[in-house]
Amino acid sequence: MQLSQKRRGTPNMSSSTLAKAPLLTRVKTRVSRFFGPWGVFFKGFIKHPVMVGSIIPSSDRTVAKMLAPVDWDNTKLFVEYGPGIGTFCQPVLNRLRPDATLLVIDLNEDFIVYLRKTIRDSRFIAVHGSAADVNEIIAQFGFKNADYILSGLPFSTLPNDLGPVIAENTAKALRPGGAFLVYQFRARARDFMEPYFRKIDNGFEPWNILPCHLFWGWKE
């Protein structure tokens, strides 16, 4: 049982210890154990609801459509904000060159711990931090720019005007010709992108819970 819990990224908590924990902690731990990655996702939503775009991971159709415009042959660094339980991670790794890097950033440490335990790929880096610090984070790993940056963060509910800060710093982090890939339930995300990206392509994926607006902001 302990080995299974470790693989799922849930705390290794004995029954007696769990019984003494606060009620919310007990509920989140038992949900994570029972539902595996879905439990981790639900736990993350409870912990940081305004930072998680949805309680349900994106559909395969959303993933495929969102990644379709990427020039994989010329991608050295792909960054993702808010990876959650890694819905996009393996599809991105499957497309990346052998010498490329996928770097994911999340404020929720539970997600980062889970991803580090479950994704065994030398091209994968998981960072516990803020998307607003993307330039400093990629520099720490020896990169000047990212080729593509993907985000499912809910821009309209981010605290303290964080949305515009993330959009501006993302534009600075991207190389010319790179793109900011954004999927949201609300079309308002485009409002945060427009001051920093002159060309924005739009898409829509109805086969998702909930139906999803897709945006690709290109850096000139």
78: helix, strand or coil: strand
207 assigned to some structural domain: yes
Q: Which amino acid is at 82?
A: G
Q: Are residues 12 and 107 in the same domain?
A: no
Domain that holds residue 8: 2-35
Which segment, 46-50, 80-84, 123-127, is predicted with the most confidence on average? 123-127
Q: Are residues 131 and 81 in the same domain?
A: yes
45 assigned to some structural domain: no
Q: Are residues 87 and 169 in the same domain?
A: yes
Q: Transcribe 4-15 into DSSP letters.
A: HHHHHT-----H
Mean pLDDT, the chain, rounded, equals 81
Sorted by sequence, the CB contacts under 8 Å of residue 164 that are 6+ apart come out as 192, 195
Q: Are residues 152 and 203 in the same domain?
A: yes
114 assigned to some structural domain: yes
Q: Are residues 14 and 83 in the same domain?
A: no
180: helix, strand or coil: strand
pLDDT of residue 185: 78
Residue 31 reports pLDDT greater than 60: no
Q: Is the pTM of this model over 0.85?
A: no
Q: Are residues 114 and 208 in the same domain?
A: yes
Confidence of residue 193 (pLDDT cuts 50, 70, 90): very high
Domain count, the chain: 2
